[in-house]
Amino acid sequence: MKLNIAGVMQKIDGVYYIPELKNNLLSMGQLQERGLAILIQNNTCKLFHPTRGLIMDTTMTFNRMFAIAAVMPSKEPVVFFQTSEEEKTQLWHNRFAHLNFKGLRTLHSNKMVEGLPLLAAPLKVCNDCLAGKQHRNNIPKKSYWRATCKLQLVHSDICGPVTPESNSGKRYLITFIDDFSRKCWVYFISAKSEAFTMFKKFKSLAEKEVGSLMGCLRTDRGGEFTSKDFNEYCLLNGIKRQLTAAYTPQQNGVAERKNRTIMNLVRSMLSEKYIPREFWPEVVNWCVHVLNRSPTLAVKDLTPEEAWSCVKPSVEYFRVFGCIGHVHIPNVKRTKLDSRSSKCVLFGVSEKTKGYRMYNPITKKIVISRDVIFEENKVWDWTEDDINVLLKWRDDEIDVAEIEEQDQVQFEEQE
C-alpha cells in the first residue's frame, strides 16, 4: 500500500491495513528485516533506507509509541475532481433552465452576471435537453435592421392553444420582445381576444420603466392584433404597425423564435422534474426570467436584462426549478403544534416581491418566501396521471427553418 507521510509517498507492503482503525501498527522488527535502520534516541525515532537515507522521523507519544501521520492517497484524485466539477456544471445548467455550456461560460467570462462561478468541467450529455429539443433551427445568415433605442420596436406573438389548459384556465401565452435589448415579457390568456388588454398592460409598464413611448409594433396578421379596437388604439397612441405577410411567419422571426425557444425549454424542464403539465405557465415564467439573464447573440456582451435596465443582474439566487424547498414559517403564523417549515416545490421567483414562489401541493397554494432551504436534487412525488400527459401547442403548423434573425442561437445549438 502507498501512504503519504510528511509529503513523501512511501510504499509499505506485507502489512495488514484496516482503514476503519484510527491507528494501524507498523512493526519495527519487520522494518529492520526489510533492511531499514532504526535509530531511537532522545524521544525521536528515525528510519533510514540503505540508499535513500532518512525516510521518516517521528517523536514519542505519551504511551511510548511512535506515531506516523500517514494519509492514504485517493486512488484516482483526478476523477474525483472531475466528478465534482461536472456536477457543478450540471447544477448550473439545470438552474439556468438548460442553458448550454458555451452560454454559461460566456456569462462568466464576459462578466455578464453576478454570482455565477467558473465552471471548469464541460457538460455531459443532458437527457432532458434531448427530450426537449425536438427541432433544431438553422443558424440564420443575414442580419437585419435593429432598433437603436429601447421601445423603438416591439415584437409580439401568441402561442397556443396549449394543452392541457393551465391550472388557472389559461390556454395561450403572449410575448412582447423589445428589439433593442431583447428583453422578453410574457402574459397568459384564456382566449386570443385578451391580447389587446395584455398589450395595453405591457405598454404602460414598459413605457413607465424606460420613460419613453413605444414606437412600432411588429406582429403577424392574426385577428387578435388587427381588431378595430387594437388598430384605433395604436393610431391614437402614435404606434406604427408592421404586419407581416400572411403565411410567412419568418418575417415575425424574433417573436416566433422566442416562443419556440421558450416552449422547447419548457419541455426540457417538464421532462426533468416530472411536474404536472397544468403548471406550464410557471415553467414559462421561469424560462423567460432565465432567458432575460442569458446570452443572446443579438446583444453583445450584455444580457437582455442589463441592456434594458442598465443593471448587471445577479443569478446567485437561481435554484433548480421544481426542486423541493422547505419554507420557514414565522412564529406568528404557526400554532405550537405546527412544524417550523413546510415542504414545497420551487416554482421560480416573484419579480415583484423578490422572493421564491413556493407551491405547496397539499394546500395547493403558492407562498412567496425568501426563507427557504432547498434540496435541489429532490423532487415532489406527484401522482403519475398528471405527469404522463404530453404538453402540446400548435407549433407544427409553422416551419421556422428559414428564420433570419440571429437570436438565441446559443440555446438552439446542441451541447
Give the interface with Zn ion as residue ranges (CB under 5 A).
98, 126, 128-129
Nearer to Zn ion, 138 or 414 (CB): 414
Shortest distance (Å) from residue 68 CB to Zn ion = 48
Shortest distance (Å) from residue 149 CB to Zn ion = 35
- Interacting residues of 173 by C-beta distance below 8 A, sequence separation 6+: 158, 159, 160, 162, 186, 187, 188, 189, 259, 262, 281, 284
Nearer to Zn ion, 129 or 177 (CB): 129
Nearer to Zn ion, 157 or 272 (CB): 272
Strand partners, 357: 368
Q: Which of 272, 349, 280 is nearest to 313 (CA)?
A: 349
Q: Which of 270, 305, 303, 299 is nearest to 284 (CA)?
A: 270
Shortest distance (Å) from residue 128 CB to Zn ion = 5
Shortest distance (Å) from residue 126 CB to Zn ion = 3
For the chain, the distance separating the N- and C-terminal CA atoms, rounded to the nearest angstrom, is 42
Strands (E), 277-409: 323-328, 341-350, 355-360, 365-369, 372-379
Nearer to Zn ion, 132 or 249 (CB): 132
Cα–Cα separations (whole angstroms), residue 312 to 210, 289, 301? 16, 14, 11
Nearer to Zn ion, 128 or 165 (CB): 128
Shortest distance (Å) from residue 410 CB to Zn ion = 13
Q: Which of 183, 408, 411, 210 is nearest to 304 (CA)?
A: 183
Shortest distance (Å) from residue 133 CB to Zn ion = 9
Strand partners, 185: 176
Rounded to 10°, the helix 253-273/280-291 angle is 120
Residue 388, all three cell numbers? 404522463
Nearer to Zn ion, 135 or 200 (CB): 135
Q: Which of 278, 294, 245 is nearest to 386 (CA)?
A: 278
Shortest distance (Å) from residue 73 CB to Zn ion = 34
DSSP secondary structure letters along 209-249: HHTS---EEEE---TTTSSHHHHHHHHHTT-EEEEPPTT-G
Shortest distance (Å) from residue 18 CB to Zn ion = 43
Alpha-carbon span 19 to 172, nearest angstrom: 61
Angle, CA 146 vertex, CA 144 and CA 148 arms, to 5°: 160
Nearer to Zn ion, 89 or 259 (CB): 89
Nearer to Zn ion, 269 or 324 (CB): 269
Shortest distance (Å) from residue 121 CB to Zn ion = 15
Nearer to Zn ion, 103 or 140 (CB): 103
Nearer to Zn ion, 70 or 126 (CB): 126
Alpha-carbon span 254 to 259, nearest angstrom: 9
Angle, CA 130 vertex, CA 259 and CA 374 arms, to 5°: 80
Collapsed DSSP state (helix, strand, coil) of residue 109: helix
Rg of the chain, C-alpha, whole Å? 30
Alpha-carbon span 395 to 412, nearest angstrom: 16
Shortest distance (Å) from residue 89 CB to Zn ion = 11
Q: State which residue has the least CB distance to Zn ion.
A: 126
Nearer to Zn ion, 98 or 273 (CB): 98
Shortest distance (Å) from residue 95 CB to Zn ion = 11
